Chains A and B, each alone.
Chain A
Amino acid sequence: MRLLVRLRPFAFIAVLLVIWQVAVKRHPAQLLPGPLGVVRGIGDLLLHGLLLKYVVASLFRVTWGFLLAAVIAIPLGLTIGWYRRSEMALSPLVQIFRPISPLAWIPIAILWFGVGDLAAIFLIFVGCFFPLMLTAMSAVHNIPAVYVNVGRNFGLSAANLVYRVLYPAVVPQLIIGSRITLGIAWLVVVAAEMIAVNSGLGFLIIDARNAGNRYDLVIAGMIIIGTIGLLLDLGMRSLERVKSFRWGYSED
């Protein structure tokens, strides 16, 4: 009985797939493929070795863009969040830059870096920078004053206060923020690859359409994008669950 319940969602998806396949069979003239066509498309990609190549390219850019942004934005955000005046100064500017879609930076990215990997990494960097900085600033605000007071009470130097109280206290929130930002990075890389580079999953989608209306490859690419995005998210969530990080949540 339990097993049946757990299989329900998959049954639901299976039903949708059947409906999709039937709908496509009934309209053979139009362009979109059915699920079987998509599966064949995935097989095609695997066969030509393209799948792995593109996935690696996309992941490579995401990793670099995200890490660069994290290394700069997080310490910066922690510092700004700590000193009230610096926050008063910089927060309005951040609020103006944040809603600018990373894609709007494309012309500038191409101007500075030309078409290629660096431009894509730059776009991901921009897309990750502000969310990470805001997460760090917010994390600092949310440190209960108690912890800081205890640290001062025990005579901790400023450096020790940062290392032994501030850092452990903000890590849980930083991880949650990183998970969300990683999701954003994944969205940005796909879009960036459609415009600014010549490889990767985003490029696959645009190219498959442009060079021959291979919509089976388009949808195959979409599904792979969704799956990898999901895996990244699940991976980060399991990081959140690691015991020594859990201490941030079990409190409430």
Chain B
Amino acid sequence: MFKRNSEPKSINFLEPINKESDMLAGAFSWISTVGKNLLIVVEIVVLIAFFARFFMDERSNNLTDKINAQISVLENDTWKQSSVKYDNLQNLLFDIKNIETGQTLNSSLVSEILSNIPMTLNVQSFSFNGTRVSIALTTPNFKALKDYEDSLKNNSYYSDVRFNINKAGDELEVNVSFLINQESV
């Protein structure tokens, strides 16, 4: 009545290791466990990458469109011209500020030199040229001349002070020359 199981009841531990059925069973087991998990992980990574790229590409494309639109606005002739004009004006204003604050005015220097010449000395000619000053003087007053020479030589703002004195009758003809030190200018 009851059929006996056809499979032999044996516990055989001595079967060959690389038996085909074992390999298949192992492969199936690997595919269904570790392989499955690997596949899931890969799928997750692929999906994340896909959506990330999807959104990032969209954002990148939008930005490219925006940049192109802005460039076309800036390439418009009016804007281009305005841009150049404002650049020029900015440079000009910068230069104006530089010359306004950076340059030394010489009128006060000339005024100081002229006011330092004693009244007893008669100026025959005066020349101021950059940093060199030449003065031709006449005077009968040697002391005044000597004082003037001392004052120039003792002034640290001046250098290379030269006095050339000739006697013409009662008067002394004097050629004075000196340099104005650049640091004081």
A associates with B: no
B interface residues with partner A (beta carbon < 8 Å): none
**Which of A's residues lie within 8 Å of B, judged by CB?**
none
